[in-house]
Structure 1
Amino acid sequence: MRKILIIDEEFNQHKIEREILERELEDIEIIELNYSMEEILKHREGVIGILVQIDFQIDKKFMDQFPALRAISVYGGGYNNIDVKSATALGIKISRSPNYCNHEVAEYVIAMILNFAKKLTYLNKRARQGYWGAKAISNIPIDEWSVEEMDILPQRVHGSTLFIIGYGRIGELVGRKATALGMRVLYYDPNIPTTGNVEGKVTLEDGLKRADFIAITASLNDSSFSLLNSKNISYIKKTAYIINAARGKIIEESALISALKEGKLRGAALDVFSSEPLNIDNPLLNMDRVFVTPHSIYISDKSIMDLKYLATNNLISMLSNGKPEGCVNCQ
């Protein structure tokens, strides 16, 4: 009997996937597995398709052990976990799951802009400590505030500048939401044609120098790897914030930590990191000006259901010689 493997340590159950696969494919055995290679290889005979989480690595050695394998569908918008070149040579189709969490990621960026601008984390703490009104910011009379105390005043978002790195579907969605707040939106994306005047498009250096908020929504590839290194971070205003909603390795983490420690950057919101999960000793976890979430902004009541439907239907489409939108090597 033909087999479909679901290799997953993220979701607790796969009822939706089973219902779709059993309805659309005949004579199929569906096997749910964790990341144990010993267990996975016990079922390698007859496997025609695999549904896999984005953090499980699939290389040529892995694929060589599945002679009947025809398609792999990834739970996630990326596919850095798969050796696509080897898969293509072996005749195995690969699909990612794009766009299922566009709104979730864009909403996170806007939420972090508002959190930083309105000093919500800080003022929530001060209110719980019993401080009220202007005294929540400082016990000193307003007209005697120092530069440092003025620096922690909440900011008006309207009229501030947002620089978006990566202006694909998520980046564009962030831009629309920010425009609705009255922000000035700039963006950098080398994949957008430069012919003609594209409103808002700037160079990386120019955008970094002008931004009050920097949102990273780019894909991770050779050109974006360590894009925000020490040189490029040095262009950023001391009063600016970085929000990384894309991939951790787009930022050179050591350079970011140094900039934060030296006061060359006002703060950062990070959902992704160069290595995950974060080591408990990572300095980012002990910085008041850093807002950390556990690579979870893609999750919502709607997005997970959309992801399950999309990844499963992509697999079925590839097994039926279709070319789903997320297929990265369909000819």
Structure 2
Amino acid sequence: MHVLVSNVMMINERDRFDALLQGKGLTPIWPEVNQFMTEPQCLEFAGDIDGWLAGDDQITQTVLEAYLPRIKVISKWGTGVDSIDLEAAQRLNVPVCNSPGAFQDAVGEYAIGLLLAATRRLARTDRLIRAGKWPKGRFPGMAGKTMGVVGYGAIGQGVGQRARGLGMNVIAHDPHMGSAPDGTQIVSFDDLLGQADVICLCCNQTPENYHLINADTLEKARDQVILCNVARGGLVDEAALIAALQSGKVAAAALDVFEQEPLPTDHPLLQFENVAVSSHNANSTVQAIEYVHENTLNNLYRHLGL
């Protein structure tokens, strides 16, 4: 049986996973991948694949239909499945597996770290000291501020837990949740915009919430709002964010994800000292990554009858 390995996390450890898959009697297929495979790239392997260890690949209805009848499972590395047409997969009886809740701690920690990097200028201070300077800044603290979390699943709850540890008040918006397991107040998106000093995006990207943060929603937000995005780049209209940073409407931004990845070196967001950027890597703890490796393989093996 042939297994397509297109997630960059396993590709980065190709020798390790090549041996594991071959040890199970499987033949791994290793495509050239830059972050994820586009629909045309996915279609190149149609008809030849029994199982798929997928990343954020564009797995559309067209792709799913082309992989039938041979494909038995798509085992997605990680938690997000917004790049897969789940309705089509269900209709075509193609199982899709992921690792829900795996990154609650890892991304929760990282979101707070990135937020502090943006607001307290941690990386900039480090660079200046290494250059022989000794800066003394005045920056906003988080204690007493309101954190508004958009998407209050496992990761959102992880962010909320840590924000409360900083002395923040936490509210959340989640259209799929009437009440929160931890008692956090669930509010409408407009109410969150009006109340939150910090907005942290922890939701899936769907056609409905593409560019959720845009010129109009930023106008409704509080002055000097701080934005943190550890979810998906398409949730933010980057042109609107840049304009809001220039005007001072947005006081700082902490961004792990972008509409184009890797981020171009001439991207305008890199001009701002009050923007902290990262490489879509908020899940980067040894514990979380190893758990997802194991769970992703087990999901594959189970559906292949191994």
TM-score range, shorter chain: 0.7 to 0.9
Match of 2:6 in 1: 7
> Which aligned pairs between 1:235-246 and structure 2 lie closer than 5 A?
235-246=220-231
Inter-partner Cα distance in structure 2 for 1:316 and 1:113:
39
Q: Percent identity?
A: 29
SS of the aligned residue for 2:30 comes to strand
Aligned partner of residue 52 in structure 2, secondary structure: strand
82-91 vs 225-234, which deviates more?
A: 82-91
Task: Find the aligned partners of 1:104 and 1:273 in 2 and give their Cα distance.
Answer: 19
Map 1:1-331 onto structure 2 (within 5 A).
Answer: 2-10=1-9, 11-14=11-14, 17=17, 21=21, 28-35=26-33, 44-45=47-48, 47-54=49-56, 56-63=57-64, 64-128=66-130, 132=134, 136-137=136-137, 153-193=138-178, 199-320=184-305
| CA-to-aligned-CA distance 1:108-156 (integer Å, 9 cap, x gap) | 1111233344342444455456554xx734xxxxxxxxxxxxxxx2333
Which letter does structure 2 place at the counterpart of 1:59? T
Rate the CA distance shift 1:212–1:304 in 2: closer, same or farther, 3 A. same
Distance (whole Å) between structure 2 residues aligned to residue 254 and residue 166 of structure 1: 23
Partner SS, residue 185 of structure 2? coil
**Contact (CA 8 Å) 1:211, 1:236: kept in 2 or not?**
yes
Q: Return the index of the structure with the highest Cα Rg.
A: 1
CA deviation string 1:263-289 (max 9, x = no partner):
111110111112222233321122222
CA contact (8 A) 1:214 1:243 kept: yes
| Contact preservation (8 Å) 2:42, 2:58 | no
CA contact (8 A) 2:42 2:59 kept: no
Q: Which runs of 4+ in 1 moved over 6 A?
A: 36-40
Q: TM-score, normalised by structure 2?
A: 0.83
Paired letter, 1:316: Y
* Local SS of the residue matching 1:242: strand
Aligned residues: 298
C-alpha deviation, 1:260, in angstroms? 0.8
For structure 2, which runs of at least 5 residues remain unmatched after alignment?
none
Offset at 1:238? 2.9
Over 3 Å counting, the alpha-carbon distance change for 1:40 and 1:186 in structure 2 is closer
Counterpart Cα distance in 1 of 2:276 and 2:43: 38
Alpha-carbon distance, 1:40 to partner: 8.5
- Structure 1 residues 98 and 20 mapped into 2: Cα distance closer, same or farther (>3 Å)? farther
Structure 1: stretches of 5+ with no match in the other structure? 138-152, 322-331
Judge conservation of contact 1:73–1:314 (CA < 8 Å) in 2: yes
Counterparts of 1:102 and 1:39, CA distance in 2: 30
| Partners of 1:72 and 1:277 in 2: CA distance | 25
Distance verdict in 2 for CA 1:309–1:17, change over 3 Å: farther
Question: Alpha-carbon deviation of 1:73?
Answer: 0.9
